[in-house]
Amino acid sequence: MIMESKAVAVIKDGQKPGASGALNATTFKRKSKKITGPKAKGPQLNSVQALQAAEKAGAISDLIHQAGQENDEQPLSAMEIGEIRGNDARHLLMRKLMRNEHTRVMLLKKMVYPEEVDDFLKDEVKEECEKHGPVKDVTIVQVRGEIRIFVRYEKMEDATKARGIFDKRFFNGRQIEATYYDEELLNHQDYLG
């Protein structure tokens, strides 16, 4: 804080400044005034970690914004499932952030285009996937113009083995992308993962 001083002359009643004898009657007092800088607005990013976190958050926000513009679809918040509230929503968000590596669910992407989906696709995928272990169910959905095929195996080991075989494999001239998918997210019909 900066202090500024002013000298103030105090003159007794009936005397004029500069009159004879005024020097003796005049006393000086120092009056101080507090000067403050501009008030801070919002959180202060004064540490290296805070600046890096803010920069990373801005980059993620830009990517989400770009993805929304490229797809000309609803914003990401509108695509989320609206029925899940409270503790369930918090729990699902934490599951998404943790990205559990090994589950019984394998996600196949870039396998087919939306116009190639027919009544036989589910059975064909199940038949092919059962070569690597018993399949509990197959779910086919369209998300943002992309077909996603979720294959739930009876055992985690079978899903791990199948993922290794299907990932980077070619099907109908396209390279398949096989990844793990959190089973709890699939149970809540959260296909965005």
Q: Each residue of 67-116: pLDDT tens digit?
A: 655 544 444 444 444 455 566 666 666 655 665 567 899 999 999 999 99
Place of tokens 């083995």: 161
In this prediction, residue 3 carries a pLDDT of 47
Q: What is the DSSP letter of 99?
A: -
| 101 Rama sector, left if φ>0, alpha if ψ -120 to 50, beta otherwise | alpha
Give every CB contact of residue 170 below 8 A, 6+ residues apart in sequence. Answer: 176
Q: Is the dihedral of CA 17, 20, 23, 25 positive or negative?
A: negative
Mean pLDDT of all residues in 25-51 = 58
- Assign 134 to helix, strand or coil: coil
Select the more confidently predicted residue: 34 or 78. Answer: 34
- How confident is the model over 142-160, as a mean pLDDT? 94
R_g (Cα) of the chain, nearest Å: 35
pLDDT given at position 88: 64
- What's the whole-number average pLDDT of the chain? 73
Q: Are 179 and 167 in contact (CB under 8 A)?
A: yes
Q: What is the pLDDT of residue 184?
A: 84
Does the predicted TM-score (pTM) go above 0.95? no
Q: What is the DSSP string of 89-132?
A: HHHHHHHHHH--S--SEEEEESS--GGG--TTHHHHHHHHHGGG
The C-alpha atoms of residue 82 and residue 12 are separated, in whole angstroms, by 78
Q: Domains for the chain: give ranges and CATH numbers.
A: 2-35 (no CATH), 76-187 (3.30.70.330)
